[in-house]
Amino acid sequence: MSRLRARCPSCRTLTAVAVGPEYQCHSCGAEFAAGLVRVPRAWGTGGEAMAAAAWLDLPYPEAGVIEEESLHEQTLALAVGLPERPLVLGGCCCSHVGAVEGLARRTDRLAVVWIDAHGDLNTPASSPSGNAWGMPLRMLLDGGAVRAEDVALVAARNLGMEGVGLEISEEYIALAKSRLSPSGNRVSYSERRNA
Ligand SMILES: [Zn+2]
């Protein structure tokens, strides 16, 4: 994947080039604020619809498509090939792992706003389903790409962490819960709209 070339969403040619953090199409002159990376993979059982959603038509130049045979390879490829200002479209939440790791390499300290119905904090030991898409935020925290105190978990209905494997993230879960809402452990769209 090249950071310099991308497919222009306006004229569909492969001539969009990076201009600083932005893209400009050499063919039609259109400018774009981000480069789109598609990750049409879902790491779990029955995720075909999620994987297909990575092909959603969006008005950003396509800077790359990551299709690797393992999540580890996907994460490496994504982190290395991330555009200057990336818009990463999965797939499943595991596409955030490579995106955050790539961004974390560019800065001393990274903040992450994780907008998700679940906490994505499971480990293989704690996950009821074994689906890796329930674990990506935990991978990032345990791997050190981002610190727990630099993560805001927004819109989580539940943290999805019944069972074992809580020992490392108990402190993080307390932090996350304190951010779910001022009154409890649930923030809904309507509550936020009325706030
Ligand atoms: Zn164009």
Instruction: Read off the pLDDT of residues 111-122 as tens digits, 9 standing for 90 and up.
Output: 998 888 888 888
Span 136-171, pLDDT tens digits: 999 999 999 998 888 887 777 666 554 433 333 455
Q: How far is the CA of 79 from the centre of ligand 1 (A)?
A: 26
Span 39-90, pLDDT tens digits: 999 999 999 999 999 999 999 988 899 999 999 999 999 999 898 889 999 9
pTM, rounded to two decimals: 0.78
Q: How far is the CA of 27 from the centre of ligand 1 (A)?
A: 5
Residue 115's alpha-carbon distances to 19, 41, 174, 178, 188, in angstroms, are 29, 19, 17, 15, 12
Q: Of 88, 36, 84, give the one whose Cα is nearest residue 62.
A: 36
* Strands 16-19 and 86-90, bridge-based pairing: unpaired
Q: How far is the CA of 61 from the centre of ligand 1 (A)?
A: 9
